[in-house]
Amino acid sequence: MAIKIASAAEIAAKWVEVTPGRSRYYETNTPASASDWEANTKAAESIYAAAISAAGVSKRFAGGVAKAGAAKFARKVTALGVSRFGPGVQAAVSDMQAGFDPYVAIIAAISLPKKGPRGDSANYARVAAVGDPLHKKRLALLGAG
């Protein structure tokens, strides 16, 4: 016996009608589940490693990007991203400061090599003098180095 199901259009219409009214549920229950999220995510480390190492994963990733496409990306930026950008920045100011703070001392301690004339390959040493210690700090903060 076949499974009876509404059309995708009917399901989408009900979803858009009912789901916005669930924002209070989202507001209450999502923050309350943060510790479960953290514990379960940490416990899934080996599953994550297996998933990103699976055969064909890069093709699936590229396929997902192709399926969504540039048009959907641009549509979502216009419809949602622009209006959420400013409030998102305001909501993230303390996270941005905390995330950048460990790098301030690294940058302040760097003594740049002497600058050469435009096009001089020695100028790349100036880039490395900044990039290398920042990369090492990033890896240390991630527990990867």
- Domain count across the chain: 1
In a domain, 71, yes or no: no
- pLDDT, position 144: 74
Q: How far apart are CA 72 and CA 54, in angstroms?
A: 27
Task: Compute the CA torsion angle 71, 76, 82, 84 (nearest 10 deg).
Answer: -160
Residue range 33-65, pLDDT digits in tens: 999 999 999 999 999 999 989 998 889 989 999
In a domain, 2, yes or no: no
In a domain, 110, yes or no: yes
Residue range 75-94, pLDDT digits in tens: 999 999 999 999 999 999 99
| Domain extent at residue 136 | 93-145
Residue range 8-38, pLDDT digits in tens: 999 999 999 999 999 999 999 999 999 999 9
In a domain, 86, yes or no: no
In a domain, 143, yes or no: yes
Q: How far apart are CA 77 and CA 92, in angstroms?
A: 19
In a domain, 102, yes or no: yes
In a domain, 7, yes or no: no
In a domain, 112, yes or no: yes
